[in-house]
Chains A and B, each alone.
Chain A
Amino acid sequence: EAQLLGSGGGLVQPGGSLRLSCAASGFSFSSCAMGWVRQAPGKGLEWVSVITDGGGTTHYADSVKGRFTISRDNSKNTLYLQMNSLRAEDTAVYYCAKVPGVYYFDFWGQGTLVTVSS
């Protein structure tokens, strides 16, 4: 059974950094594009970033471009999101999600909460 286990969230001060991880199991991780989607408290879904199966191509939302970096280690079946220069508006639950052959999200992790506050 497919599983995505996110970790690395927490409380960070504005301007700080955090790295999220998402450990995958139960499917061929190295054959799948992956992505991050976030949800601010009480709000809707916002796409953040995607990375292709081999890691050679990445896309970012304008709101995080230049501050966040998506990466993956296929030998460890793990997806990452390095978040720098964090702002209060980055406060959200961050979901990692599997991308099937096209850019939808067909399986989601449980989410990890990031809170940016002084």
Chain B
Amino acid sequence: EIVLTQSPATLSLSPGERATLSCRASQSVSSYLAWYQQKPGQAPRLFMYDASNRATGIPARFSGSGSGTDFTLTISSLEPEDFAVYYCQQRSNWPLTFGGGTKVEIK
């Protein structure tokens, strides 16, 4: 099973600041990694797929990078609606696995 480790667990930032979230895989997943955003009481929403492709309707301030075992989700300038929990997920191998999440909170 591929283990995805997300860091940091919590990121405390102010609106307008840059956020950098990390997802590290226990073995290579090529570029087969997605990012999801989840807000309290809501279902997750797909934000990024295959490491660097924004899903439909996702604003350009979100960008993804990486391949192999190290991946990054960057939010260039935090908007109030961006404060949420973000999860990564790999589709390279069965079973599909998710990371433990990074909470982006308002400082």
Interface residues in chain A, defined as those with a beta carbon under 8 Å from any beta carbon in chain B: 37, 44-47, 50, 59-62, 95, 102-111
Contacts and interface: CB of A to CB of B under 8 A. Distances in A.
Contacts of B1: 62
Interface of B: 1, 32, 34, 36, 38, 43-46, 49-50, 55, 87, 89, 91, 94-101
B87 A104 contact: no
A108 B99 CA distance: 18
Contact of B44 (A102, A103, A108): A108
Contacts of A105: 36, 44, 46, 89
A50 B44 contact: no
Contact of B96 (A44, A50, A109, A111): A50
A104 B98 contact: no
A50 B34 CA distance: 17
Contacts of A110: 43
Contacts of B98: 37, 44-47
Contacts, number: 55
Contact of B97 (A47, A59, A95, A111): A47
A97 B34 CA distance: 15
Given A45-B98, A47-B95, A104 B89 contact: yes
A46 B36 CA distance: 13
Given A45-B87, A47-B95, A61-B95, A104 B46 contact: yes
Nearest to B96: A47
Contacts of B96: 47, 50, 59, 103
A93 to B, nearest CB: 9
Contacts of A44: 87, 98-101
A20 B73 CA distance: 34
Given A44-B98, A102-B50, 8 more contacts: A37-B98, A45-B89, A46-B98, A59-B95, A102-B32, A104-B49, A104-B89, A108-B43
A108 B44 CA distance: 7
B96 to A, nearest CB: 4
B29 to A, nearest CB: 12
Top 4 nearest A-B pairs by Cβ distance? A108-B43, A103-B91, A47-B96, A45-B98
